[in-house]
Structure 1
């Protein structure tokens, strides 16, 4: 049996397996492995986004306040943030495939444990554990795929983002349907958790190390990077991290309480709110377009325009109170810009802001900065709603904050990215 066909269960230091796992990998296995990676990220999204549309029922069963519900809707991102930098460290030292498989098991078990909670404290713990696994997985996926598709990183991230958006699209529909069918909100969590364990098992055998352990340095070995900062924590990565923090708070605050807003303020049914969330996920499927554009235009300017678009959509959502059909259209646009354009391009830009051998740390930095404060975005939004009402809260958190993120992006210098065309190099 060749090395490429062996099952990878090792946790040997990364430098060794990446040098020894360069046996050719067929296009079929690349495609199959990439598909499983996308599917695993889709289940990741389903685990995250099944919670908000079920939140009114969860609050009713446990007697949670709006602030407690808002915190539970987004506090899984605290686990993601806690996982980010440690995952970056592990990815620079151990096999990415190992980190990936372990992470899927962690978040699947955390998801399945959520219905077992007896109160706020242990439900918070299960949500954070689930988020920790999801953060590890995010860092592993984007480090591995970013290295393998170094020249088409934005497009590859866009495809992965589309898988995430499919999960956002179908999770509310399946979750609400199962809740209605079984008379309990528990069953979706068991189903999605089991799906994650199944994908982890399949990935153990079908995702080859030739895909996950690729070295970005070899792909671009004809280039030199003296023009780039030596540190992974430089002007560009810091500015992008600030932008990540702001966009995470704005977008996850919106995602966490959007169904609650529709149900409690606009008096939508649970099914209508779930469909609106699905439209948001459908808009996120434009991640392929967003990633493709990020490979071809000034990525900083694309992100600035996308942040401005999120602000404009937010004004329409919270200030104009449109009809059901227009609300679905606005949800689609929020998903398109928030999930389809901002997420993959921020992720790929922060990897382009470091030297190729630092991709693991860049991936961890993105996960920590994007999801760290997002953990409290739902709590913040709920507190603002209690103090000022839905319209003013939406204006403060989902309209003004993205503009602050756009200001941070003004400090980014794409000419110092690792894909920048230098004088004398072919464009």
Structure 2
């Protein structure tokens, strides 16, 4: 199986690098800010039954509201990539956190489906601004271990995705309703805006990607000069499939647990939240993606995910079984697929376009996912929970496995013109 070298040649005019301790600390602050997105996004589906009862809307509308934030993420992803060419990554991150935090607070004062959909979508815009800048900054600073570093961010997001529902249920119970978690998480976001803008060094966030002229000719000559090349399109299609499958599960899985299996709020929060802990496998997955053929990693993960998706809604009905399956879903989707596909997207273009490629990835993954909850709700109405899971969480991922195998890794930026560099 081919191996891929992790190293890149740093640009000669790169900013002075931070000490290891400061760099790790900075990464930790940014990871916490990224994890807050997981808290704010994942708490909504767990609170959805109470929100529906309070505001009075149906399952389809609820599924749409649970995923509409991804529409904002996707639509803002590509413009955010271009914005990085005009503003510092640190500034874009801070603005993104501010928008996300403000709209999270506004969610708590929404009065209906319309205004809540706007607030949720705009929170996604803020998330996109932060994500594109954050992944570009971390990818450039830790270029020698790009996928591993991105895996670390995914772990932070996963921890936030676990803590968000678990703490959110407790906050809602202690402070009198579903609005409390949105107030708390939004205010935490405002604090983080100040921390990032004040204490995060540009020596971390503004390290440049190496340009084509600074890399050996054989490193880039075989890589398509166009951003929208064949590999990027294939990876985008695969990312869209992963997004639709994953967010169909995220949107209505808590509702399934409560309305079909009879789980209480605490058990539902645990089962839904453990999905986030599955992202802990992102670190070994990132290291694997740095070294091995990403097509095989993604295809195997999609096949495994198809089996897990089937069992989630047509398998064990006890809490222990659901905890295990939800963790496995998180491990596949958040721990392996998101990290590997994002890193592959950056490899599919020449290094100076890596930030723009991240923007394309964010759009490809999230725009279709915005309608995943509505689609899953419609399938549930037409075919029941098991039928919906069969089509959206099983058949669809298998189609994605077929698509990703068409990617030509010989055209990646860290592969030689005759094939993957370092192949054994």
Whether the TM-score (by the shorter chain) exceeds 0.5 is yes
Q: Which runs of 5+ in 1 are unaligned?
A: 1-17
Q: Give, in angstroms, the shift of residue 183 of structure 1.
A: 2.0
Matched-pair contact (CA < 8 Å) for 2:222–2:416:
no
In the alignment, is residue 297 of structure 1 matched against residue 292 of structure 2? yes
Q: Which runs of 5+ in 2 are unaligned?
A: 1-10
Aligned to 2:193: 200
Q: Give, in angstroms, the shift of residue 352 of structure 1.
A: 0.6
Residue in structure 2 matching 1:107, options 79, 100, 116: 100
Q: Give, in angstroms, the shift of residue 323 of structure 1.
A: 2.3
In the alignment, is residue 385 of structure 1 matched against residue 383 of structure 2? no
Aligned to 1:94: 87
How far apart are the structure 1 equivalents of 2:420 and 2:289?
20
Matched-pair contact (CA < 8 Å) for 1:29–1:207:
no
Q: Give, in angstroms, the shift of residue 23 of structure 1.
A: 3.3
Q: Give, in angstroms, the shift of residue 424 of structure 1.
A: 11
Matched-pair contact (CA < 8 Å) for 2:211–2:351:
no
Cα distance change on mapping 1:312 and 1:424 into 2, 3 Å: closer
Aligned to 2:244: 249
Q: Give, in angstroms, the shift of residue 29 of structure 1.
A: 2.3
Matched-pair contact (CA < 8 Å) for 2:69–2:120:
yes
Residue in structure 1 matching 2:116, options 106, 119, 123: 123
Aligned runs of 1:10-159 on 2, under 5 Å? Answer: 22-159=15-152
Matched-pair contact (CA < 8 Å) for 1:32–1:206:
no
- Cα displacement string for residues 209-242 of structure 1 (whole angstroms, at most 9, x for unaligned residues): 1111111216993423111100011011000000
Matched-pair contact (CA < 8 Å) for 2:347–2:413:
yes
How far apart are the structure 1 equivalents of 2:198 and 2:12?
20
Residue in structure 2 matching 1:268, options 242, 263, 266: 263
Aligned to 1:355: 350
Cα distance change on mapping 1:273 and 1:218 into 2, 3 Å: same
How far apart are the structure 2 equivalents of 1:94 and 1:250?
34
In the alignment, is residue 400 of structure 1 matched against residue 395 of structure 2? yes
Matched-pair contact (CA < 8 Å) for 2:93–2:134:
yes
TM-score, length of structure 1 as denominator length: 0.93
Aligned to 1:4: none
- Cα displacement string for residues 91-148 of structure 1 (whole angstroms, at most 9, x for unaligned residues): 1332111111100000000001101111111001100110110011111111111111
Q: Give, in angstroms, the shift of residue 321 of structure 1.
A: 3.5
In the alignment, is residue 366 of structure 1 matched against residue 396 of structure 2? no
SS in 1 for 2:207: coil
How far apart are the structure 2 equivalents of 1:351 and 1:126?
30
Matched-pair contact (CA < 8 Å) for 1:105–1:196:
yes
Over the aligned positions, Cα root-mean-square deviation in angstroms equals 1.8
